[in-house]
Amino acid sequence: MIKAILARWKQGHRTMEFPSAGLKLPPRGLGLPRLKPAGLEKAAAACPYGAIAAGEKPGLDMGRCVFCGSCARAAPDEVEFTGEYKLCVSARKDLVITGKDFKRAETLGAELRKIFGRSFKLRQVSAGGCAACEADCNVLQTIGWDLGRFGVQFVASPRHADGLLVTGPVTRNMELALRKTYAAMASPKVVIACGACAIAGGPYAGHEECVGIPPEIPVDLYIPGCPPHPLTILDGILRLIGRID
Ligand code: SF4
């Protein structure tokens, strides 16, 4: 017993401080893209997912981007990825980076903040996901991140949930389950689209078996990435419920 106590004492405190610790993406992590003034023709040609538009309305759509880095390697004078992990937005259109201001996710209104600000339960639905986004949500519940300290928890039943977190491109097989989960949640409720697949289909965009999140399920927070880094997910959720600004 004494050995176990000593071991725990030596291990110390394992939970990362957030956001005060100034955490950053790892060196190989790709964060907020920065567009350079050279134009985007080469970068657009290099993108296998059609996430970059050149020409009259140039921009990089983080909703479609899988952060593979091909564009930055092919056209370093046009695109650069920074280490910035704060990528979440409230409106789909704000995921398109144009080189001007980037509009981060907004906090819920005062009424909802009062309800969810200190206790926010999420039901996760993997709607055809590959398990990468799911794994990065899962890691937030480990001792290193300790999502529960912010009052945020994943729960097993939609009846207990305040928010629905969707991963995956929403396959036909999962569409009904997603609709039923949303319907089973009490109002008010919020919806989070986590990862490129949930936002825009990811690598499966346009596939006949992928239908996307139905318009009757309105999304309040978009978390881009493939998968999003846990820092990005945590930042987005806490920003949404007003725990950070
Ligand atoms: S990083 Fe994104 S925008 Fe660049 S090539 Fe890959 S998918 Fe396309």
Q: Domains of the chain: which residue ranges?
A: 110-240
CATH class (in words) of the domain with range 110-240: alpha beta
DSSP secondary structure letter of residue 220: S
Ligand 1 midpoint to CA 41 (Å): 13
Ligand 1 midpoint to CA 48 (Å): 7
The C-alpha atoms of residue 244 and residue 110 are separated, in whole angstroms, by 14
Using left for φ > 0, alpha for ψ between -120 and 50, and beta otherwise, residue 180 falls in alpha
pLDDT of residue 23: 87
203 lines ligand 1 (CB under 6 A): no
70 lines ligand 1 (CB under 6 A): yes
46 lines ligand 1 (CB under 6 A): yes
pLDDT of residue 10: 87
Which residue's C-alpha comes closest to atom 8 of ligand 1?
47
71 lines ligand 1 (CB under 6 A): yes
Which residue's C-alpha comes closest to atom 4 of ligand 1?
71
pLDDT of residue 198: 98
62 lines ligand 1 (CB under 6 A): no
Are residues 81 and 206 in contact, defined by beta-carbon separation less than 8 angstroms? no
54 lines ligand 1 (CB under 6 A): no
pLDDT of residue 205: 94
Q: pTM, whole model, 2 decimals?
A: 0.94
Positions of the chain with pLDDT under 50 = none
The C-alpha atoms of residue 236 and residue 191 are separated, in whole angstroms, by 12
Name the residue of 64, 66, 97, 204 to mutate for ligand 1: max ligand atoms within 8 A of Cβ: 66
pLDDT of residue 57: 87
pLDDT of residue 56: 84
Ligand 1 midpoint to CA 30 (Å): 10
